[in-house]
Structure 1
């Protein structure tokens, strides 16, 4: 197994706004056919800001359309309702007669992830995505559970049977703004972890003795969420001794961020979870493909170690920024696909004698039931608009 066998061993990633804008103006914005933007509907101004950056605050041409998905919990404070209506009004101005808004909000009977999967199934029955040659997913204004469900579901739809990446152009963009993110407080009334619908460990009760490994992608101020997920993972796996492999952001914009996280989480990580220092991994905060490679290598290493045990179960919890979360879900998507029963006999990632093993993947999150937004003036001048080209013309052989 080598990195050359990974889907995105070679990739196209623009980290800065200047790089993204240059690629958009010279190439992506000129691609033939119709382009669909998929964005979040809510109080977050990034639903509009990213599009304004790409089109210099002008209305996009007629071949550009927009799908807005309302999936966030209610927000209070800082005139959140008015800001949501303002974002919708601006999107209608940018995409006159070309904006479609859908609701996908969780309830007591179904998680947000399941609600979104049901919505996507309905849209596919309408052949909604088939009319577009390019799809751009703007994760900046989306709740974590939304884009972590959406990205792999669309990849699954458009990627080739043998992992070909050139079937349809698909991009992810993200306008990261730490100042704005720090002004949002997530409130949880039901402190239980829920799994993404498509990554729920696939009925692990069928194989309760398989070993489990948990990869929390660490971020600041996530202590309660971390402890909740750990508790619920143990319930689902029915194991107390789950191996924990924390992944810390380094290098990062704040060079001391990893040290701060270790300091804040020291008791939880090293005393409660009994993490071995050698288990700590590092991945670049602003390069999602770096985290993707680290996770893929770890999945394959543990899969090889679990050969004599009949397989294993992998749990990934993205508690970090959105770019790192995208890198994490790309690794989960690829590894779960390549290690599935259908693909195991053919995958280049596992030796032939491993093909009788069973591998399960889970992505647990704690969904907020309400957002509280502080009334701060947001400055996007220093925020960077990043772009990942995941599928399409860039991967033509």
Structure 2
């Protein structure tokens, strides 16, 4: 493989005010018909993007709301989710609700399989654009959903644009916690290959470091037993000391349990998904020739915490089919008193044009050349 090729090296991206400007310009074109896919959950950010799109497109917008079903949810979460869905429905655009069970009767994680099966029933060919808003969708559902939509667009006979978007707020994230299940799992479509020789590969674990996910990160490391770990810290960040404070909080794990050399710390801009994408791709390219004669290299990603960099991890995983491991949430807990006191004006938005007409066939040409490199 030519190490200089990156599928999204020159990706189109927008942030904050730029996002709405792009929406107004792109979706303001009368020939466009858009499918919006977003979460129908309790998160107060769930309707930010769809409201922006509807204000521009009106009846040319169709929405699909994903409602993640977990056992015995808190009554307040159900109430808030119902209010958010009612608010979205009152916009006036046509919509469908997909009820996605996250766990099977035996507590197996099946959210990824269920969303993939649900999306198979949708006719995407009638849309010029598909917008997937991951703001209020868990990674176990959003990653398979984006992967499926991306493959549909690539194999479509007519052009379909795929967009990723998110509304992010660190303070709001800090007020939402979860109770994880007791086992580590990989995300559907991004599994660790169970083929001969795969176990001999040198495993490098790349986790997004989050204080709220400390126990989950420890569980993943114990389950995967990577040969090396490169923890990813936020820098630049709104708080210049955030990365240092995280390293201090994880000092025991980094030094004693994970045996991480500080020279293996990775820093990525937490507000720029393309930064972490390029960083992961560069690490993979540097490792491949080094470990080629020793069985090969395998990168394992864990997109925990902030969803801005999670988009970058998703893009890297889509391109190289890196395994993605996480621990599914059994239930969520929210400090509603503090959440209700927050101003939504602090929410930051991002948009990434993942696939479509803007690239003039560059991605398909990339894949054709990539296959030739393997021959």
Distance 1:283 1:131 in 2: 38
Aligned partners of 1:3 and 1:9 also within 8 Å = no
For 1:15-26, list aligned pairs within 5 A: 15-16=15-16, 18-26=17-25
Match in the other structure for 1:371: 332
For 1:274-313, list aligned pairs within 5 A: 274-313=259-298
Q: 4+ residue runs of structure 1 moved beyond 4 angstroms?
A: 1-4, 108-112
For 1:28-39, list aligned pairs within 5 A: 28-30=27-29, 32-39=31-38
Match in the other structure for 1:177: 169
Distance 1:52 1:122 in 2: 24
Match in the other structure for 2:74: 76
Structure 2's unaligned 5+ residue stretches are 362-375
The answer as to 2:354 corresponding to 1:390 is yes
Match in the other structure for 1:146: 141
Match in the other structure for 1:61: 58
Give the structure with the larger helix fraction.
Answer: 2
Match in the other structure for 1:347: none
Shift of 1:179: 2.5
Distance 1:115 1:144 in 2: 10
Residue deviations 1:217-240 (CA, integer Å, cap 9, x gap): 222322101100001112xxxxxx
> Under a length normalisation based on structure 2, what TM-score does the superposition of the two structures give?
0.87
Distance 2:166 2:113 in 1: 22
Aligned partners of 2:288 and 2:296 also within 8 Å = yes
- How many residues align? The count is 355
Shift of 1:298: 0.8
Which of 218, 236, 243 is 1:227 aligned to? 218
Residue deviations 1:131-160 (CA, integer Å, cap 9, x gap): 221000111111222212222232233236
Match in the other structure for 1:199: 190
Distance 1:99 1:53 in 2: 16
- RMSD (CA atoms): 2.3
Aligned partners of 2:69 and 2:99 also within 8 Å = no
Match in the other structure for 2:371: none
Shift of 1:68: 0.8
Which of 175, 186, 205 is 1:214 aligned to? 205
Match in the other structure for 2:14: 14
Residue deviations 1:279-308 (CA, integer Å, cap 9, x gap): 111111100001000001111211221211
Shift in alpha-carbon separation, 1:159–1:380, aligned structure 2, 3 A? same
**Higher RCO, 1 vs 2 (CA within 8 Å, ≥6 residues apart):** 1
Distance 1:385 1:54 in 2: 13
Shift in alpha-carbon separation, 1:160–1:282, aligned structure 2, 3 A? farther
Shift in alpha-carbon separation, 1:233–1:204, aligned structure 2, 3 A? farther
Match in the other structure for 2:113: 117
> Under a length normalisation based on structure 1, what TM-score does the superposition of the two structures give?
0.83
Distance 2:314 2:146 in 1: 8
Distance 2:267 2:129 in 1: 33
Shift in alpha-carbon separation, 1:31–1:251, aligned structure 2, 3 A? farther
Distance 1:80 1:367 in 2: 17
Shift in alpha-carbon separation, 1:118–1:143, aligned structure 2, 3 A? closer
Residue deviations 1:299-344 (CA, integer Å, cap 9, x gap): 12112212112323221111231010110111011012xxxxxxxx
Structure 1's unaligned 5+ residue stretches are 235-240, 337-360
